[in-house]
Each structure stands twice: as C-alpha cells, then as structure tokens.
C-alpha cells in the first residue's frame, strides 16, 4: 500500500534520516522505534508529505508522491507530537472545524463527530472548552481530529508522551481496536518498546538516522536467539565489577543503572561466573535473573545503549 524508498533528509550539516526504507500493507500495525533524536519524526514528516526529502521517494499504491502529494495527504491521518487543537473552542467545535476543512457535508460531519467523540471517550465533555482538558484528553481529541476524514493510514508520532496512565491505556487499546476491527493501517512511532510490543505486529528500529533492524516482533527478537539477557541486582554499584563484566569475552554489552547491571551474553549458565565476579569485586548480590529478550534488549544489543539513555 505504502512504500518508502531510501528516504534521506539533511538539515545543513546534520543528516537526520539516512536512506530509510519501509513499507506498510493494508490493515497492519507497524511500529517505528528509536530513541530521542533517532530521526523518527523527520521520517514520518516526509512520509506524511509535510517536508520534502533530500533524497528518496514515497510510493502510495504504486504512484510516486514526491511530485503529487495530494492523494497521500488525503489518505493519511497524522497525530503530531505537538498538539494541534484550539483551546478556546469546545471538543465538538474543534472536530467540526477540522471536518469543514475537508469539506465533509454538514449532516455526515455531525454524525462523524459524534462517532469520534464516543471512540475517544470524550462524549460527555464535548461541550467543554479544550483549555479545561487534561493533556491526555487533548491528545485523544487530537486523534479524533486525525480520523475525521476517514483516513486509510493513521500515523502517530509518540502519542502517549507526557500523558496520564489512563489516557495512555485508552489510546493503546483504541489503536489496537482500530487496526483489528476496522482494518486501519497504522504507523506508530515511540521510544517505549512495551507500547510497540502491544500495539504493533511488525517493527522497524531506527538509531541515529538509520534503520538498524526490521521484521515481525519475533523476527527482531530472533536477532538475540542465541543470546540471553541477565539482570544483576547489587547493593552497591562497583567500577571493578563493571570492568570485569565488560572485559568478559562472552558478554556483548553491559548497562549499569543503579542498582542493576544488565548484560547480554551468548554463554549458557553464566550465573556461577557472575557470582564469582561479584565476590571477587566484593560486591553483595541482591539477585540475579535471566529474562526472555524484549525489543529493548535487541536495541541494546545492536547499539550497546539503552533506548532511553
């Protein structure tokens, strides 16, 4: 349905996006993951036709969208990171305003607005001015606005950043429902691995402008098939222990975050050796546990850094 081919964007000296390719099939939910500054927003701004790529192309239903972006613009509902709502207007009037911009006939528009207010859980607050809303409510209204013209593709730029846990859960469930029950095609960007694990079937991982992994969740986690992540909880962090862990030939990465060291190893039965290393470094172990790989671990493995560093 949508194919992104080698998109690049340069801002003066900075190459924010470097030859990124991805595709979306109709009705699938795809995650675009990466830490702050990875280039996710820049990539989706190009895909949404808001900014022009320095190089590359976006094909929608096989047609190039660089020169003729109108068709794609109409097919996309974008939920930007920064809220785009009028605080002085009510929730209902915001939706009516944006609906009129798409020239939706009045009767149809009123019906659509009511449907969407229910969908995003704001029906009871529809007559209230948006300036009285919480951050989560504003974000939900923003999602309703993105859906007003019945887009085929919903693109969401970190839609849960800075909102309350209830709104976050509400949004995650809503996105899943839209995709499962209404076959909405979703591109969901986030730096929260657990959100993408919940919402998406397939994932792309970006870092420093480049795509570093892609596939179904299981395929991406399969990068770590022969690896294991072990968490070592200690009563006090120790430079000595960290150095010993880092210099171990079978440990590929070490992240130290009070009070835990997270290591990735390809060696089975590492526990005994870790206990020895801790004893030698005079560190008291509080606990040690192996865990199945998460997308976060894949990122750690590929970059040597945690996603939220």
Residues lying near ligand ATP in the complex (CB under 6 A) are found at 11, 14, 16, 34, 36-42, 158, 191
d(CA 39, CA 277): 39
Q: Which is nearer to ligand ATP, 34 or 77 (CB)?
A: 34
d(CA 167, CA 171): 6
From the CB of 138, what's the least distance to ligand ATP, in Å? 18
d(CA 222, CA 167): 32
From the CB of 231, what's the least distance to ligand ATP, in Å? 26
Q: Which is nearer to ligand ATP, 20 or 109 (CB)?
A: 20
From the CB of 305, what's the least distance to ligand ATP, in Å? 14
For the record, the structure tokens of 24 come out as 């979306």
From the CB of 8, what's the least distance to ligand ATP, in Å? 12
Q: Which is nearer to ligand ATP, 244 or 303 (CB)?
A: 303
From the CB of 243, what's the least distance to ligand ATP, in Å? 32
Q: Which is nearer to ligand ATP, 186 or 277 (CB)?
A: 186
Q: Which is nearer to ligand ATP, 92 or 207 (CB)?
A: 207
Q: Are 83 and 139 in contact (CB under 8 A)?
A: yes
Residue 239 backbone class (left: φ over 0; alpha: ψ -120 to 50; beta: rest) = alpha
Q: Which is nearer to ligand ATP, 36 or 111 (CB)?
A: 36
Q: How many whole angstroms from its chain centre is CA 153? A: 16
Distances (CA, A) of 161 to 191, 203, 237, 272: 9, 19, 31, 40
From the CB of 60, what's the least distance to ligand ATP, in Å? 21
Q: Which is nearer to ligand ATP, 11 or 86 (CB)?
A: 11
Q: Are 29 and 188 in contact (CB under 8 A)?
A: yes
From the CB of 48, what's the least distance to ligand ATP, in Å? 12
From the CB of 9, what's the least distance to ligand ATP, in Å? 8
Q: Which is nearer to ligand ATP, 51 or 285 (CB)?
A: 51
For the record, the structure tokens of 27 come out as 């009705």
Distances (CA, A) of 54 to 18, 20, 173, 212: 10, 12, 36, 20
d(CA 44, CA 222): 27
Q: Which is nearer to ligand ATP, 37 or 121 (CB)?
A: 37
From the CB of 38, what's the least distance to ligand ATP, in Å? 4
> In degrees rounded to 5, what are phi and psi of residue 240?
-60, -50
Distances (CA, A) of 113 to 52, 148, 222: 32, 7, 43
Residue 172: its H or E element: helix 165-182
For the record, the structure tokens of 111 come out as 């019906």
């Amino acid at each position: 349905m949508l194919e992104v081919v080698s998109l690049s964007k340069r801002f003066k000296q900075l190459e924010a996006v470097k030859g990124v390719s991805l595709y979306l099939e109709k009705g699938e939910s795809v995650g675009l993951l990466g830490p702050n500054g990875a280039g996710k927003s820049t990539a989706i701004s190009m895909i949404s036709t808001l900014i022009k790529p320095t190089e590359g192309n976006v094909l929608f239903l096989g047609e190039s969208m660089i020169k003729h972006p109108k068709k794609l613009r109409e097919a996309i509902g974008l939920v930007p990171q920064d809220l785009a709502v009028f605080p002085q207007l009510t929730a209902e009037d915001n939706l009516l305003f944006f609906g009129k911009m798409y020239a939706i006939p009045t009767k149809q528009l009123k019906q659509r607005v009511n449907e969407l207010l229910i969908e995003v859980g704001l029906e009871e607050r529809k007559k209230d001015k948006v300036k009285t809303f919480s951050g989560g409510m504003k974000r939900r209204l923003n999602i309703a606005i993105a859906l007003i013209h019945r887009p085929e593709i919903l693109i969401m730029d970190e839609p849960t950043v800075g909102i309350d846990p209830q709104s976050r859960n509400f949004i995650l469930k809503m996105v899943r429902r839209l995709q499962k029950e209404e076959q909405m095609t979703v591109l969901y960007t986030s730096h929260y691995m657990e959100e993408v694990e919940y919402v998406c079937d397939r994932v792309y991982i970006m870092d420093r402008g480049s795509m570093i992994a892609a596939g179904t969740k299981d395929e991406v986690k399969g990068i770590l098939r022969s690896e294991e992540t072990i968490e070592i909880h200690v009563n006090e962090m120790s430079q000595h222990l960290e150095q010993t862990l880092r210099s171990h030939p079978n440990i590929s990465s070490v992240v130290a975050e009070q009070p835990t060291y997270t290591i990735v190893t390809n060696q089975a039965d590492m526990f005994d050796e870790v206990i020895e290393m801790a004893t030698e470094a005079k560190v008291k172990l509080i606990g040690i546990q192996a865990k199945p790989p998460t997308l976060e671990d894949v990122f750690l493995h590929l970059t040597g850094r945690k996603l939220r560093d």
